[in-house]
Amino acid sequence: MDTAECLKRVRERNPLVHHITNYVTVNDCANACLAVGGSPVMADALEEAADMSGISDALVLNIGTLNADKVKAMILAGKAANKKGIPVIFDPVGCGATSFRNRMAEELLKQVHMAVIRGNVSEIQSLAGKDAQTKGVDAGTTSGLDEAAATAKALALREKCIVIISGAKDIITDGNTTILITNGCPEMAQITGSGCMCTTVVGTFCAACSENLFDASKAAMMAMGISGEKAWAAYGVQGLGHFHMGLIDYLGKIDEEMIAKDGHFENG
Amino acid sequence: MDTAECLKRVRERNPLVHHITNYVTVNDCANACLAVGGSPVMADALEEAADMSGISDALVLNIGTLNADKVKAMILAGKAANKKGIPVIFDPVGCGATSFRNRMAEELLKQVHMAVIRGNVSEIQSLAGKDAQTKGVDAGTTSGLDEAAATAKALALREKCIVIISGAKDIITDGNTTILITNGCPEMAQITGSGCMCTTVVGTFCAACSENLFDASKAAMMAMGISGEKAWAAYGVQGLGHFHMGLIDYLGKIDEEMIAKDGHFENG
Amino acid sequence: MDTAECLKRVRERNPLVHHITNYVTVNDCANACLAVGGSPVMADALEEAADMSGISDALVLNIGTLNADKVKAMILAGKAANKKGIPVIFDPVGCGATSFRNRMAEELLKQVHMAVIRGNVSEIQSLAGKDAQTKGVDAGTTSGLDEAAATAKALALREKCIVIISGAKDIITDGNTTILITNGCPEMAQITGSGCMCTTVVGTFCAACSENLFDASKAAMMAMGISGEKAWAAYGVQGLGHFHMGLIDYLGKIDEEMIAKDGHFENG
């Protein structure tokens, strides 16, 4: 499915995307989902997590501010999503930083089949079992692109899913096919939530294009990267607060033409 | 009490508005309350919920990201607010989406007298007992204006309160008198929190004008609608992120003159 | 250490600042920390709070939306921070408003040594044991500058820490030396989170300049005040929403030259 077609489907289908996510960037995620063409719903009570996934088109699980109850709700929602056959998108925020976080992430992978995992390089390395030095959630790049891609492929094959590593070049792989998205700008790391919003955008595209999650992921990462580039070009001179708002602006304005003209990828 | 007078009182009295609300849009609600002239306080611990309502001028209960403990705190705060005689404003976010949410909303109505209930049409239909198809929290309009107004009136009479349904035309009714506010713009549904902020603005006006909650609700809905219109006119060309900020701008800038010139309503 | 040097160190060291904070303004705090040059991490699960402080350069504790579990996590994190020797910065949001809040604040002071306490005048008065009338978290100024400074000094000596009272003139004291920062603008009180962001900025500077917490606090309060002034000058005409974004803009843009030119303080 080509990238423009993916975006068109998101806008036409207006998919409902259930999030169990952190309280730091949840507002940004809701606005990113709405802007790009989805409908967000956030619900993490144990009593309704499964029911909410049962009426949704995708489930996003983000462990930014996890706790034991939230992980229980994620497992209930994840199992319901797996049963219904809707994609589950996992953001292992801060994985590698504490042993509790590592344990919870492992438990989630054991209990729920993830369709897509998206993180930065140290989070993905940690999840894949490599020693990684995590510095908060923005994480330092400790390995080169090839090593990161190899880790992503190994994790994708192990978990039978798509793995995305965000970075200067985003890696997308299902273990066999690998591509690199060269959109985006470094300033995205200077506002909180650009990683979380990225996962939400992937979730929204996957919700609308569940027939082809690889193409949906590619289109989502391009849409996010192009929006970041354009927002920085338009508002960088004003500063990070305006850039933040500009990112939401462009997630709403992005269209098939921008994607055709400005989307860039390489085979990895 | 005329609409301009209501706004004047909000600005003069700077009422304290206790919120027990969701973690998705709580920042927007706090900023909307401040901008329009109130003082927000958010506190949901079981140990202090009642005490905080006891020093406040109104209580806003919003079940967006509810859980069992949060509902307990809402009931404690609601009973304290009822005892003190300050208005309780209820936003049944996502009502109809899960049976847990429906049960919790019913429990709240049973334990706490609400002065005003504000929601979208499917949430109000669900609360009133009508079958409604809920699609997340933005909800699909399944019935025409007349049917919605009839549902609102029935709920208002049953709960002895004011019911507000937000939509292209906002319905405000106490069961006997019904008016329609024709301000606002459809783009408000494309940012998260416009419903929640609307409830907060109603709460802030009711806090300052508790002598006449119907007029306070009317003034609040006009202030919110006019702010939305003006923000879209000023920032729509930039996009949804800037529109979001513009909405807070205009909630702060709205004055008696704008309300007199741009506020529109019809008898329903 | 001079103020420009403090800012330089923040930018060079990019310190990791662990926050256990409220869900109302947490996004603003994360963005303020990033903009000024730090890396924020928010984690409040009992199982990882201590570990996260153990890899951080400072800990910010903010009781805005406290509950019993969150306070337990604060104590665990605080003890770990004390043990590691990193500064703990305490924001007693809403202290004085309810007896639960007062009790929890006292408990935190008993269990954790705070390096810096920052609040508004009524919060600091309450913490110091004076009767104070708290009106939400924006609090009314009930005493003049001299009385406030005397209270701050007494608390600083009792807790062996730096105390900061935000206001028209910010008071910074360690009980012996007292200075007043005259930067900032009254409109900062009209957006939620300016107090919380201020505490975060103090935490970020203290994380990078732990050798001299008094100078770090002074530099942080100046950086925050100057950013507020410049943001209001640039965006006040648009309104409070744009001012809010502008504040983040200027926290990112502030440099040694601005501080040298626009930073103002008096000996108290």
Distance, C-alpha B116 to centroid of its chain: 8
Decide: residue B157, CB within 10 A, 0-12 exposed, 13-18 middle, 19+ buried: middle
What is the average pLDDT value for chain A, to the nearest integer? 94
With CB atoms and an 8 Å threshold, state whether A67 touches C44. yes
CB pairs under 8 A between A and C: 98
C40 interfaces chain A, CB cutoff of 8 Å:
yes
Question: What length does chain B have?
Answer: 268
What is C242-259 written as a DSSP string? Answer: HHHHHHHHHHHH--HHHH
Residue A66 pLDDT grade (very low, low, confident, very high; cuts 50, 70, 90): very high
Where exactly are the structural domains of chain C?
A: 3-267
Task: Calculate the dihedral angle through the C-alpha atoms of A203, A207, A210, A212, rounding to the nearest 10 degrees.
Answer: -50
> What is the Cα–Cα distance from A131 to A20, expressed in whole angstroms?
27
Q: Which amino acid, residue A116?
A: V
pLDDT digit string, tens, across residues A1-42: 899 999 999 999 999 999 999 999 999 999 999 999 999 999
Residue A140: its pLDDT value, please? 43
The mean per-residue pLDDT over the stretch A64-84 comes to 98
* Spatial CA neighbour of C8 closest among C228, C176, C255, C226: C255
Task: State the fold for domain A3-267.
Answer: UDP-N-acetylmuramoyl-L-alanine:D-glutamate ligase (3.40.1190)
pLDDT beyond 80 at A130: no
- CA atoms A120, A125, A128, A132: torsion sign: negative
With CB atoms and an 8 Å threshold, state whether A240 touches C35. yes
Stretch 41-60 of chain B: residues touching chain A, C-beta under 8 Å = none
Is-contact B134 B123, C-beta < 8 A? yes
SS3 A98: coil
B56, containing H or E segment: none
pLDDT beyond 80 at C133: no
Residue C130 pLDDT grade (very low, low, confident, very high; cuts 50, 70, 90): low
The mean per-residue pLDDT over the stretch B189-218 comes to 98
Is-contact A220 A197, C-beta < 8 A? no
Where is average pLDDT lowest: A64-78, B117-131, C13-27, C233-247? Answer: B117-131
pLDDT digit string, tens, across residues A148-194: 999 999 999 999 999 999 999 999 999 999 999 999 999 999 999 99
Our CA-based measurement puts residue A27 at a distance from the nearest CA of chain B, in whole angstroms, of 5
Q: What are the Cα distances from residue C74, in Å, to B209, C67, C70, C85?
A: 40, 11, 6, 16
Our CA-based measurement puts residue C96 at a distance from the nearest CA of chain A, in whole angstroms, of 26
Taking phi over 0 as left and psi of -120 to 50 as alpha, with beta for the rest, B217 belongs to alpha
Q: What are the Cα distances from residue A235, in Å, to A250, A254, B245, B246, C253?
A: 11, 16, 14, 16, 13
The mean per-residue pLDDT over the stretch B97-104 comes to 97
- Check the annotation: does A42 bind a ligand: yes
Of A24, A138, A245, the CB nearest to C39: A138
Residue B140 pLDDT grade (very low, low, confident, very high; cuts 50, 70, 90): very low
Task: Count CB neighbours of A261 within 10 A.
Answer: 9
Residue A268 pLDDT grade (very low, low, confident, very high; cuts 50, 70, 90): confident
A67, containing H or E segment: none
pLDDT digit string, tens, across residues A225-265: 999 999 999 999 999 999 999 999 999 999 999 999 999 99
pLDDT beyond 90 at B139: no
Vertex A144: Cα angle to A139 and A149 (nearest 5): 90
ipTM: 0.94
The mean per-residue pLDDT over the stretch B157-180 comes to 97
For residues B138 and C146, the model is more confident at C146
Residue B268: its pLDDT value, please? 85
pLDDT digit string, tens, across residues B38-73: 999 999 999 999 999 999 999 999 999 999 999 999
pLDDT digit string, tens, across residues C208-260: 999 999 999 999 999 999 999 999 999 999 999 999 999 999 999 999 999 99
With CB atoms and an 8 Å threshold, state whether C52 touches A97. yes
Per-residue burial over A180-194, b if 16 or more Cβ lie within 10 Å, else e, is bbebbbebbbbbbbb
- The 3 state secondary structure assigned to A107-167 is HHHHHCCCCEEEEEHHHHHHHHCCCCCCCCCCCCCCCCHHHHHHHHHHHHHHHCCEEEEEC
